[in-house]
């Protein structure tokens, strides 16, 4: 007889990831029940493997996640607290309580949250619950930047050569710099981030850098220490996946190239890297394994390296958890990393030898985020996914997601929608499929970064493999503006848009049944239209021939054919033999339509020639002057307010800081003026996206959907 | 500028100019006068088509951001489908120098006729502001009445494009009589053919009652005004300082007074939207709701509905999300979107067939019923009933809004309108209880008891007299601590109603679209009647 559980697990067997081939040995004893201390896609990912292995799963969730996908997928689910992560997914007491109550034998922490929390690992150990990850010692050692670097040095892992301490004079600085090798970076030790950082390429510049930096160190920080470090020009971020067991075996599972980043967050990852040759790969892998062995590492882990243009690599840090981008490694090696982690945690030795680890084909992963890529490469957006359809009909596509149509993207958690992974026998094939997958991905209701992802993967520099961590700011120095249409592409877009318009117009004349007053059938077969796209107005002539259209734009004739299904979110169109998948995002009676074409959404207005001519008589409506109002670009919580009513502020001055989805944003005055009033509000955003405002002592701003007036400036 | 085509006017005459060689006498006796006569016809038509634009000192419509009367018709109707009536009519006023030839305009201050919108017949009048400010003369009214009479006879909607300064003062009572003639026809046509008014300029004084009597009144933002008395009179009578826009602009009437049903950005936007709106309507009360070609599968599952209602019954959600996801292609033509937002009404299609949607909006005032929302809902329900448009009602209503403001305002009387409208309606009525259906409001919202044809409940439905907390306080006077849980168990679910047959089925929300489409197919042949009466006495 089938029970619900067996049905579910059988279903999962059938539909589980196509892209890894780890065999599950049903005779191997494993945990009976496992708790996943995480949410979203990674919780779903772990549950999938658990189902395959026949392990019962317990999900935890916050109250806003009660209907989340991971909750539905798990065999059991328990609420551990309200929406803020500190009270739910980070609430160790509540999670420990659930573990005891549900009788979970092991805990998989996923990534983020408690995955690298040694206290959590310690508490689990003290209660005899297995933590699926390395032991406390390794977490602690690798969690400390200085200690991990020291350990790495001792394990003969390349580290960035440098000096941190008091430098007596310029000569000493030069001596240190020569020892390290040019170029070097000089800055005050106390200064955070890249502040006051100077790059020196020779002795002269070193002396100069020393003078400025030591002055700054003394005056700004009152701390004489300087940091002189090897400067890595155009670095790549390449990491090695390691897998170790409790019996002293460790493997390196090849590298992942994660150089495409914005604000130190990875956006596009791939495995293998175009840059590494087998020797470098082996050297990096062996050093990574050496480090893992040095800390008696068990489970899956990642050793991150910076690689310079001459293939010198330097240890950055080690992540003692499953990485977000682990699927690309799974694709090329065929291993199920979660399964291996569970086996290792249960105490089994690794089944593979280093020689068994292949590089089969190429895999690319794009992180699809709910964010607006036109604002500093991605500012979070929230909302309900009114339509959502993953491109699983495209071959060799894997989508790791924890959401579904109707899910809310809330301000409380990471705005990641999914990880889109494509696989091919070579890089070109994987990228081609990625392009197709991105075009076929339907996400409505929230802003998303598909346009940016699609631009990156077709950019000539990316295609050639010429990338570094500075790729995005270098390629888009003025910010990302969406795809730039070539003349041909513009004609294709116009032709598709007007064809759709005509199809819609013709359909609105087709009524079913026999009306009392006969309908005057239009015999029209050609239309003269005027399309407004961007700054241009394009006259377009369309004529219909069966189900295809002949469209004349800029004196060129294009032939457009399609099935013209106006209800489907995806539309496959063939324009003069070129196949394109487009998405019509919206349309209205005023002729306005927005179409996603080559990843970017274009707004068009299509009018008949007569209407277009008359539209010049229509009054131009002045846009609202928003410069005296400060609006938050996204919903969030105000963590600091730097002004009070009555203060004079100048243009560009910071007014407050908003935190949303793990990001702090400084809100800046758009013009000079006086702060007339501030509102003190707090938001609580719940599942249904209603925002409640509560008066609080703390000045907290909040924001519904897009805007709430926070500060008014007056002259 | 749309000129009446010369070839078309020539067709009016069955004579062929190119026939056998004319004799001299024929030339003088027939052809010459005919040529002169033809010239007069064509000239008059040309003059008429220019309206008041022929005067250089006439008010420039372009400067005001408005289109001319004929341009509007050109955009509203299908190309080359307009057949104009009464182009030669001139006003008959002789006082105040009105009989001078420079004060005569063939066609006077309105353009009337019939045409096609997406192939379907519609009668149209478009007031011409360039002729005496579009003021209403006796013949102006006569022209409008003529097309209204014919529209009622044929059974096709009348669309009025209003842009008029008011009565033709020079004509005195004749102009007032004209208004009354139109009002009478508005009333007689009400419920027979759909009547739509689009206010595209000023509409003041008595003139406002014609739009008020029609089924739908739309406005153009910034260029249209509707008021009984203008700001000057208001100032002199009540000493209030108010601008035209504040007193009777599109924003006032769509958000505050509820006089207008929707406002559009400009003339073109309004006319294009009107074309789209027209497609939802049947031509008359003799016709069924139109069915369009539909690409959206009628059995499309809507998975997001399974999680759309929050687990806590105090949390809000957007009823429009439900409506958009269920209807064809997410297209919903909302009526009065900015007025009484605690109820959502509008037109959509289900498997191609026009339906009227009514839904409580939990996002605004918890979706309670108050005076404004009851009246808004009632009028919409009655329109749908009059014109054979099936009604789909989504219920999440915590009850009627309490308070002195509501009681003094007559919520009893106004709430009764919605109850009356639903009870009286004989079109197919499908009801879905998504969450709360409390108290009298449960009865009102197209319940089984008011002849609902198919009533569904989602698993999240709570059909009860009131919320658990209040109920327990009354039953136990606060003595029973765990009684609240008992009440929740008993009533905060769809079972009690389902067990009694008050809901026909408890359905998986994701199947709602498929169920409704199927029901509509079956109910298309519904026939139901009420006892004979002259007319019902709705509590106005």
pLDDT, tens digit (0-9, with 9 covering 90-100), for B417-450: 999 999 999 999 999 999 999 989 999 999 999 9
Q: Which residues on B lie below 8 Å from A619 (Cβ)? A: 64-65, 222-223, 266
Which value, in Å, is the radius of gyration of the alpha carbons in chain B? 28
- Contact (Cβ atoms closer than 8 angstroms) between residue A700 and residue A681: yes
Among B268, B307, B315, the residue with its CB nearest the CB of A614 is B268
Residues 6+ apart with CB under 8 A from B477: none
Q: Inspect the interface and report whether the beta carbons of B74 and A509 lie closer than 8 Å.
A: no
Calculate helix-pair angle for B173-189, B138-154, nearest 10 degrees.
10
At A21, the pLDDT band (50, 70, 90 cuts) reads low
Q: Which residues on A lie below 8 Å from B291 (Cβ)? A: 511-513
pLDDT, tens digit (0-9, with 9 covering 90-100), for A340-388: 999 999 999 999 999 989 899 999 999 999 998 998 888 888 888 999 9
pLDDT, tens digit (0-9, with 9 covering 90-100), for A310-340: 899 999 889 999 999 999 999 999 999 999 9
Q: Which residues on A lie below 8 Å from B297 (Cβ)? A: 567
Residue B13 pLDDT greater than 90, yes or no: no
Which conformational region is residue A449 in: left (phi greater than 0), alpha (psi within -120 to 50 degrees), or beta? alpha
Residue A221 pLDDT greater than 80, yes or no: no
Choose the weakest-confidence range: A23-27, A430-434, B295-299. A23-27
| Contacts with A, B 155-194, CB within 8 Å | 155-156
Query: For A590, which residue in chain B has the nearest alpha carbon?
Result: B269
Question: How far does the CA of residue B213 sit from the closest CA of chain A (Å)?
Answer: 25
CA–CA separation, A58 vs B264, rounded Å? 53
Mean pLDDT of B525-538: 92
Share of chain B above pLDDT 70, in %: 91
pLDDT, tens digit (0-9, with 9 covering 90-100), for A439-467: 999 999 999 999 999 999 999 999 999 99
Mean pLDDT of A260-266: 87
Query: For A407, which residue in chain B has the nearest alpha carbon?
Result: B304
The catalytic residues of A are 317
CA–CA separation, A184 vs A181, rounded Å? 7
Q: Inspect the interface and report whether the beta carbons of B295 and A614 lie closer than 8 Å.
A: no
CA–CA separation, A490 vs A510, rounded Å? 31
Share of chain A above pLDDT 90, in %: 57
Calculate helix-pair angle for A326-333, A337-346, nearest 10 degrees.
90
Which value, in Å, is the radius of gyration of the alpha carbons in chain A? 29
- CA A248 vs. chain centroid, Å, equals 35
- Whether B65 and chain A come into contact, CB under 8 Å, resolves to yes
Q: Inspect the interface and report whether the beta carbons of A590 and B273 lie closer than 8 Å.
A: yes
Q: Which residues on B lie below 8 Å from A507 (Cβ)? A: 292-293
- Beta strands B429-438 and B391-397, pairing class: parallel
Q: pLDDT averaged over chain B?
A: 89
Q: Inspect the interface and report whether the beta carbons of B268 and A621 lie closer than 8 Å.
A: no
pLDDT, tens digit (0-9, with 9 covering 90-100), for B472-508: 777 777 666 677 777 888 888 899 999 999 999 999 9
pLDDT, tens digit (0-9, with 9 covering 90-100), for A622-634: 766 556 666 666 6
- Whether B294 and chain A come into contact, CB under 8 Å, resolves to yes
At B200, the pLDDT band (50, 70, 90 cuts) reads very high
pTM (predicted TM-score): 0.86
Q: Inspect the interface and report whether the beta carbons of B292 and A615 lie closer than 8 Å.
A: no
CA–CA separation, A598 vs A604, rounded Å? 15
Q: Which residues on B lie below 8 Å from A687 (Cβ)? A: 310-311, 315
Residue B298: the pLDDT is: 94
| Contacts with B, A 325-384, CB within 8 Å | 384
DSSP string, B281-344: S-SSTTSPPPBB---S-TT---GGGGGTS-SSTT----HHHHHHHHSGGG-EEEESTTSSTTEE
- CA B40 vs. chain centroid, Å, equals 41
CA distances from A489 to A189, A486, A553, B106 (A): 52, 5, 12, 52
Positive or negative torsion for Cα A604, A609, A610, A616? positive
Q: Which residues on B lie below 8 Å from A690 (Cβ)? A: 315-317, 363
Q: Inspect the interface and report whether the beta carbons of B329 and A615 lie closer than 8 Å.
A: no
Indicate if B441 belongs to the active site: yes
Query: For B280, which residue in chain A has the nearest alpha carbon?
Result: A508
Closest CA to A120 of A37, A233, A14: A37
- Whether B391 and chain A come into contact, CB under 8 Å, resolves to no
At A227, the pLDDT band (50, 70, 90 cuts) reads confident
pLDDT, tens digit (0-9, with 9 covering 90-100), for A603-613: 999 999 999 99
Residue A703 pLDDT greater than 50, yes or no: no
Among A510, A590, A617, the residue with its CB nearest the CB of B292 is A510
pLDDT, tens digit (0-9, with 9 covering 90-100), for B336-367: 999 999 999 999 999 999 999 999 999 998 89
Mean pLDDT of A82-89: 90
CA–CA separation, A671 vs A630, rounded Å? 10
At A192, the pLDDT band (50, 70, 90 cuts) reads low
At A619, the pLDDT band (50, 70, 90 cuts) reads confident
Closest CA to B493 of B433, B444, B404: B433
- Six token digits for residue A190: 């106390």
CA–CA separation, B183 vs B178, rounded Å? 9
What are residue A363's phi and psi, to 5 degrees? -130, 140
Highest mean pLDDT among B18-22, B34-38, B285-289: B285-289
pLDDT, tens digit (0-9, with 9 covering 90-100), for A469-486: 899 999 999 999 999 999
Residue A4: the pLDDT is: 45
In terms of pLDDT, which residue wins out, A665 or A356? A356
- CA A578 vs. chain centroid, Å, equals 30
- Whether A389 and chain B come into contact, CB under 8 Å, resolves to no
- Six token digits for residue A569: 């979110």
- Whether A510 and chain B come into contact, CB under 8 Å, resolves to yes
Substitution target from B60, B293, B513 for chain A, most A beta carbons within 10 A? B293
Residue A702: the pLDDT is: 36
CA–CA separation, A315 vs A344, rounded Å? 25
What are residue B434's phi and psi, to 5 degrees? -85, -35
pLDDT, tens digit (0-9, with 9 covering 90-100), for B202-260: 998 888 999 999 999 999 999 999 999 889 999 999 989 999 999 999 999 999 999 99
Query: For A406, which residue in chain B has the nearest alpha carbon?
Result: B304
Residue A689: the pLDDT is: 29
Q: Inspect the interface and report whether the beta carbons of A688 and B310 lie closer than 8 Å.
A: yes
Q: Inspect the interface and report whether the beta carbons of A614 and B67 lie closer than 8 Å.
A: yes
Share of chain B above pLDDT 90, in %: 69
Residue A401 pLDDT greater than 90, yes or no: yes
Distant-in-sequence contacts of A213-222, Cβ < 8 A, 24+ apart: A213/A186, A213/A187, A213/A188, A214/A167, A214/A188, A216/A188, A216/A191, A217/A188, A217/A189, A217/A190, A217/A191, A220/A188, A220/A190, A220/A191, A220/A196, A221/A188, A221/A190, A221/A191
Q: Inspect the interface and report whether the beta carbons of A619 and B296 lie closer than 8 Å.
A: no
pLDDT, tens digit (0-9, with 9 covering 90-100), for A413-427: 888 999 999 999 999
pLDDT, tens digit (0-9, with 9 covering 90-100), for A238-255: 999 999 999 999 999 999
Judged by DSSP in three states, A266 sits in strand
Q: Inspect the interface and report whether the beta carbons of B75 and A611 lie closer than 8 Å.
A: yes
DSSP state of A23: P
| Contacts with A, B 497-526, CB within 8 Å | none
Residue A225: the pLDDT is: 77
Which entry of B51, B52, B113, B205 is annotated as an active-site residue? B205
């Amino acid at each position: 007889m089938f029970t619900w559980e067996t049905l579910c697990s059988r279903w999962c067997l059938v539909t589980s990831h196509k892209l890894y081939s780890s065999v599950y040995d049903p005779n191997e004893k494993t945990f009976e029940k496992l708790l996943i201390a995480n949410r979203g896609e990674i919780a779903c990912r772990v549950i999938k493997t658990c189902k395959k292995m026949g392990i019962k799963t317990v999900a935890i969730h916050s109250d806003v996640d009660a209907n989340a996908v991971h909750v539905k997928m798990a065999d059991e689910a328990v609420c551990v607290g309200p929406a803020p992560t500190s009270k739910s997914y980070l609430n160790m007491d509540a999670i420990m309580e659930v573990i005891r109550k549900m009788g979970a034998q092991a805990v998989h922490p996923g990534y983020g949250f408690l995955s690298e929390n040694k206290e959590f690992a310690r508490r689990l150990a003290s209660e005899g619950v297995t933590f699926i990850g390395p032991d406390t010692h390794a977490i602690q050692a690798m969690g400390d930047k200085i200690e991990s670097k020291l350990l790495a040095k001792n394990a003969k892992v390349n580290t960035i050569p440098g000096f941190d301490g008091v430098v007596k004079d310029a000569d000493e600085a030069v001596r240190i710099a020569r020892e390290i090798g040019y170029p070097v970076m000089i800055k005050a030790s106390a200064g955070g981030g890249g502040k006051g950082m100077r790059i020196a390429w020779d002795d002269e510049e070193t002396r100069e850098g020393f003078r400025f930096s030591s002055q700054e160190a003394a005056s700004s920080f009152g701390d004489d220490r300087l940091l002189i470090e090897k400067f890595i020009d155009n670095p790549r971020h390449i990491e090695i996946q390691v897998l170790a067991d409790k019996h002293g075996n460790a493997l390196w599972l090849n590298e992942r190239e994660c150089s495409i980043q914005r604000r130190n967050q990875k956006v596009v990852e791939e495995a293998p890297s175009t840059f590494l040759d087998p020797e470098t790969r082996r050297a990096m892998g062996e050093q990574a394994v050496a480090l893992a062995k040095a800390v008696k590492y068990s489970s899956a882990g990642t050793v991150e390296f910076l690689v310079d243009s001459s293939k010198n690599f330097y240890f950055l840090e080690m992540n003692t958890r499953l990485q977000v981008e682990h699927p690309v490694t799974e694709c090329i090696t065929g291993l199920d990393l979660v399964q291996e982690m569970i086996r290792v945690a249960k105490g089994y030795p690794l089944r593979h030898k280093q020689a068994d680890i292949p590089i089969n084909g190429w895999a690319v992963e794009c992180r699809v985020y709910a964010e607006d890529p036109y604002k500093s490469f991605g500012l979070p957006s929230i909302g309900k996914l009114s339509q959502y359809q993953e491109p699983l009909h495209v071959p060799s596509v894997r989508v790791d997601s924890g959401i579904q149509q109707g899910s809310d993207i809330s301000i409380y958690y990471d705005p990641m929608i999914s990880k889109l992974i494509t696989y091919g026998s070579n890089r070109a094939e994987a990228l081609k499929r990625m392009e197709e997958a991105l075009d076929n991905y339907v996400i409505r209701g929230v802003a998303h970064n598909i346009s940016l992802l699609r631009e990156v993967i077709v950019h000539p520099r990316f295609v050639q493999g010429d990338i570094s961590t500075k790729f995005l700011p270098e390629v888009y120095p003025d910010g990302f503006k969406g795809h730039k249409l070539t003349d041909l592409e513009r004609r294709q877009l116009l032709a598709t848009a007007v064809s759709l318009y005509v199809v819609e117009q013709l359909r609105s004349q087709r009524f079913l049944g026999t009306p009392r007053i006969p309908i005057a059938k239009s015999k029209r077969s050609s239309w003269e239209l005027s399309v407004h796209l961007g700054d241009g107005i394009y006259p377009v002539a369309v004529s219909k021939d069966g189900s295809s259209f002949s469209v004349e734009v800029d004196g060129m004739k294009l032939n457009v054919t399609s099935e013209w299904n106006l209800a489907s979110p995806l539309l496959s169109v063939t324009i003069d033999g070129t196949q394109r998948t487009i998405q019509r995002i919206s349309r209205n009676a005023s002729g306005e339509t927005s179409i996603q074409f080559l990843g970017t959404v274009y707004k068009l207005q299509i009018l008949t020639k007569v209407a277009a001519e008359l539209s010049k008589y229509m009054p131009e409506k002045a846009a609202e002057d928003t410069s005296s109002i400060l609006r938050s670009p996204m919903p969030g919580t105000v963590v600091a307010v730097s002004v009070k009513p009555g203060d004079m502020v100048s243009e560009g001055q910071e007014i407050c800081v908003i935190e949303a989805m793990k990001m702090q944003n400084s809100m800046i005055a758009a013009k000079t003026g006086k702060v007339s009033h501030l509102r003190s509000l707090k938001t609580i955003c719940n599942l249904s996206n209603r925002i409640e405002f509560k008066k609080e002592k703390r000045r907290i701003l909040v924001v519904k959907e897009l805007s709430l007036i926070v500060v008014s400036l007056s002259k | 500028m749309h000129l009446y085509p010369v070839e078309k006017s020539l067709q009016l005459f069955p004579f062929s100019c190119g026939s056998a060689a004319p004799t001299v006498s024929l030339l003088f006796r027939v052809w010459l006068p005919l040529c002169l006569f033809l010239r007069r016809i064509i000239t008059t038509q040309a003059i008429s088509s220019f309206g008041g634009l022929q005067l250089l000192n006439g008010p420039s419509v372009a400067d005001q951001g408005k289109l001319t009367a004929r341009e509007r018709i050109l955009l509203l109707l299908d190309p080359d489908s307009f057949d104009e009536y009464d182009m030669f009519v001139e006003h008959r006023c002789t006082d105040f120098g009105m009989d001078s030839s420079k004060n005569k305009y063939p066609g006077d201050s309105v353009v009337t006729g019939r045409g096609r919108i997406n192939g379907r017949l519609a009668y149209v009048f478009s007031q011409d502001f360039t002729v005496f400010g579009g003021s209403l003369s006796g013949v102006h009214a006569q022209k409008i009445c003529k097309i209204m009479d014919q529209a009622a006879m044929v059974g096709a909607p009348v669309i009025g494009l209003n842009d008029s300064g008011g009565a033709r003062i020079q004509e005195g009572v004749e102009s007032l009589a004209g208004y009354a003639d139109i009002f009478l026809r508005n009333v007689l046509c009400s419920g027979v053919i759909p009547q739509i008014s689009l206010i595209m300029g000023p509409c003041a004084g008595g003139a406002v009652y014609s739009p008020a009597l029609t089924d739908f009144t739309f406005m153009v933002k910034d260029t249209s005004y509707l008021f009984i008395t203008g700001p000057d009179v208001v100032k002199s009578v009540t000493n209030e300082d108010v601008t035209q826009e504040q007193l009777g602009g599109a924003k006032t009437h769509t958000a505050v007074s509820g006089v207008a049903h929707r406002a559009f950005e400009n003339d073109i936007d309004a006319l294009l939207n009107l074309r789209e709106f027209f497609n939802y309507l049947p031509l008359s009360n003799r016709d069924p709701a139109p069915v369009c070609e539909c690409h959206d599968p009628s059995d499309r599952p809507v998975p997001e509905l399974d999680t759309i209602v929050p687990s806590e019954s105090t949390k809000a959600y957007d009823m429009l999300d439900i409506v958009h996801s269920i209807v064809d292609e997410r297209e919903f033509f909302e009526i009065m979107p900015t007025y009484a937002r605690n109820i959502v009404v509008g037109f959509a299609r289900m498997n191609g067939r026009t339906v009227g949607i009514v839904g409580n909006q939990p996002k605004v005032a918890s979706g309670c019923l108050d005076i404004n929302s009851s009246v808004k809902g009632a009028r919409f329900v009655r329109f749908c009933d009059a014109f054979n448009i099936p009604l789909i009602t989504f219920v999440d209503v915590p009850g009627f809004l309490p308070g002195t403001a509501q009681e003094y305002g007559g919520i009893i009387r106004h709430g009764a309108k919605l109850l009356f409208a639903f009870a009286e309606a004989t079109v197919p009525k499908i009801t879905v209880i998504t969450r709360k259906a409390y108290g009298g409001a449960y009865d009102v919202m197209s319940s089984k008891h008011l002849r609902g044809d198919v009533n569904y409940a989602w698993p999240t439905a709570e059909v009860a007299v009131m919320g658990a907390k209040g109920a327990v306080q009354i039953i136990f006077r606060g003595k029973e601590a765990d009684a609240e849980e008992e009440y929740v168990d008993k009533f905060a679910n769809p079972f009690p109603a389902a067990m009694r047959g008050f809901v026909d089925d408890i359905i998986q929300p994701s199947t709602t679209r498929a169920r409704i489409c199927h029901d509509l197919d079956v109910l298309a042949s519904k026939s139901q009647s009420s006892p004979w009466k002259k007319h019902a006495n709705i509590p106005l």
